[in-house]
């Protein structure tokens, strides 16, 4: 594997962990006490992080070709 491929895999792992923590936070009582606008911003963040993760997964899948 090339160095850049290893970096992409590391980035995917890090992002996946952060996304899991964000999703878990949605079930935390603190999240439900946030203003609705902030909850919406966090949901947007989750959406974009998911798209970013999907892109990294596509890139990684192409490494094996």
Encode the chain (65 residues) as per-residue pLDDT tens digits.
899 999 999 999 999 999 999 999 999 999 999 999 999 999 999 999 999 999 999 999 999 76
Query: pTM to 2 decimals?
Result: 0.90
The pLDDT assigned to 58 comes to: 97
pLDDT at 26: 98
Query: For 7, which DSSP code?
Result: H
Domain membership of residue 14 as a residue range: 3-63
Distance CA 28, CA 38 (A): 14
Residue 4 and residue 63 in contact, taking contact as beta carbons nearer than 8 Å: no
Give me the pLDDT at residue 9, please.
97
- How many structural domains comprise the chain? 1
What whole-number distance in Å separates Cα of residue 53 and Cα of residue 18?
Answer: 11
As a residue count, the chain comes to 65
């Amino acid at each position: 594997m090339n160095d850049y491929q290893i970096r992409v895999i590391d980035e995917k792992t890090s992002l996946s962990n952060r996304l899991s923590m964000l999703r878990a936070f949605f079930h935390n009582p603190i999240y439900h006490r946030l203003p609705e606008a902030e909850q919406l911003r966090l949901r947007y963040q989750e959406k974009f992080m998911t798209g970013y993760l999907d892109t990294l997964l596509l890139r990684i899948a192409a490494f094996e070709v």
